[in-house]
Amino acid sequence: MDKRESSFRWVVFASVMFTYLLMASQRTAPGLITVQLMTDFQLTASTIGLLTSIQFFIYTSLQIPMGIMADRYGPNFFLIVGAILTGIGTIIYSLSTHELMLFFSRILTGTGDATIWVNMVLILSHWFNSKEFTRLIGVAGMTGSLGFLLATVPFSSTIHLLGWRGAFLLLGILICFCGTLLYFVLVKKPKQLFPNPPVVIENVRQREKLFVLLRRIFSTRQAWALFFCHFGLVGGYLGFISSWAVPYGMNVYEMTRSGASQLIMIGLIGALIGAPLTSWISSRLETIKRPYVIVHIIILMSWSTFLLLNGNPPFPILVLLFFIIGFGFGASALTFAVVRQSFPISESGIVSGFANTGGFLSAVLLPSIFGNILDRFTTGSASLGDGYFYGFIIPVVFSAIGLIGVSSIREAVGRRDRSTVPSEPE
């Protein structure tokens, strides 16, 4: 029986998606307890920013290597190990008694998180035909946003009920359970159902040309345009909500933790809408660059509004800004539509990893820089509001870089489209 015709493939899909849902929540859930950590561990804003950045740094640095290893050794092992590492890291986070334990736990979590997307895509491609894969990869993208959504009001309520340590301990145990479940679903059960898998012939030529390919791509203007394009949208949103959004709502607007987490939820609703809507608009207009440039301009204007209104916009405007910025984050999926349009299939995975590295690099930089600014401008006679005002300069700068990147993108032409058909291996 072919894997792609077996009903068991839906068990694989559900198991992988549930694991991704829980693992994605760990990217932003720590932002709910930023104030609590600063109190319990006597941490400065700079340390909190570094604590948030280190997970994204690990994730970012492993994207391209993970793609290479998954192609060479298969995705199942790395996804299983990644889920278990994320679970163990989350458990250690809940039991931490020193800031060094917090850092170690986030390093483990970032290492595990780095395995999920590349390996998930490869697993789905093995179990589903091309038509099903196209539909399901969109569901996978939305699952990541739903994971962020889980880390808002629902997880905030769990923290209120169990305390932050109990909530993270429970989540860590669930993720470890998912890793065990994936072993049975991806390894043990398929061996029983499909005892004679097809033999895959390794393409030695492509492996030998890997470093030449990387060097050529990294010197391509289009690849760097996509890198900076993604840099401008992802970090401003993801880096901010994972560290400073909840403290911002609590300190500047005197909101409760649950109330401030609702701001994040509004942004995530925008992200859930942004991905499919901007893709549909681009398809209807038969162009990606024009609507994507408009998105970048709107995001730059939105972050600039925080500066124009002294870092403290009226609450209705604040809600609208969170929604728009979240919408822009969802629209960042257009980056990979440009990748698919601009590069041959044989190169699209590496270019996607390179572009994704740009997005998460900005998510690494923003929390730490923002925290340093808060420390600098909330001492002496300066107020906390002044610190946030100057902090918002960072996402404005990042957005401007993104606008330069998207403006530098070259729309595909017929010659490039024809080159997307991969050649047969020798």
Is 74 in contact with 115 (CB distance < 8 Å)? no
Stretch among 1-10, 223-232, 297-306 having the lowest mean pLDDT: 1-10
Higher pLDDT, 353 or 166: 166
pLDDT of residue 130: 59
Higher pLDDT, 292 or 143: 292
Reply yes or no on whether the pLDDT at 320 is more than 90: yes
Q: Over the stretch 371-383, which tens digit does the pLDDT of each residue have?
A: 888 888 765 444 5
pLDDT of residue 345: 57
CA 40/CA 216 separation, integer angstroms: 49
Of residues 97 and 174, which shows the higher confidence score? Answer: 174
pLDDT grade for 17, boundaries at 50, 70 and 90 = very high
Residue 15 has pLDDT above 90, yes or no: yes
Homologous superfamily in CATH for domain 212-412 = MFS general substrate transporter like domains (1.20.1250.20)
Residue 72 has pLDDT above 80, yes or no: no
pLDDT at residue 14, as a whole number? 93
Enumerate the domain spans of the chain: 7-187, 212-412
| pLDDT at residue number 133 | 60
pLDDT of residue 197: 59
pLDDT > 90? residue 413: no
pLDDT digits (tens, 9 = 90+) for 107-137: 999 899 888 877 887 787 778 875 566 566 6
Q: What is the 3-state secondary structure (H, E, C) of the chain?
A: CCHHHCCCHHHHHHHHHHHHHHHHHCCCHHHHHHHHHHHHCCCCHHHHHHHHHHHHHHHHHHHHHHHHHHHHHCHHHHHHHHHHHHHHHHHHHHHCCCHHHHHHHHHHHHHHHCCHHHHHHHHHHHHCCHHHHHHHHHHHHHHHHHHHHHCCHHHHHHHHHHHHHHHHHHHHHHHHHHHHHHHHHHHHHHHHHCCCCCCCCCCHHHHHCHHHHHHHHHCCHHHHHHHHHHHHHHHHHHHHHCCCHHHHHHHHCCCCHHHHHHHHHHHHHHHHHHHHHHHHHHHHHCCCHHHHHHHHHHHHHHHHHHHHCCCCCCHHHHHHHHHHHHHHHHHCCHHHHHHHHHCCHHHHHHHHHHHHHHHHHHHHHHHHHHHHHHHHHCCCCCCHHHHHHHHCHHHHHHHHHHHHHHHCCCCCCHHHHHCCCCCCCC
Quick one: pLDDT at residue 157?
86
pLDDT value, residue 169 = 94
| Percent with pLDDT over 70 in the chain | 86
* Mean pLDDT in residue range 388-414: 87
Does 7-187 match 212-412 in CATH topology?
yes
Of residues 220 and 72, more confidence is placed in: 220
Q: Tell me the mean pLDDT in the region 193-222.
A: 66
User: 263-308: per-residue pLDDT in tens?
Assistant: 878 888 888 888 778 877 887 787 889 999 999 999 999 999 999 9
More confident residue, 381 or 210: 210
- pLDDT over 90, % of the chain: 29
pLDDT category of residue 225 using cuts at 50, 70 and 90: very high
Mean pLDDT of 209-237: 85
Distance, in Å, from the CA atom of 390 to the CA atom of 401, rounded to the nearest integer, reads: 18
Give me the CATH code for the 7-187 domain, please.
Answer: 1.20.1250.20
Q: State the pLDDT confidence band at 402, using cuts at 50, 70 and 90.
A: very high
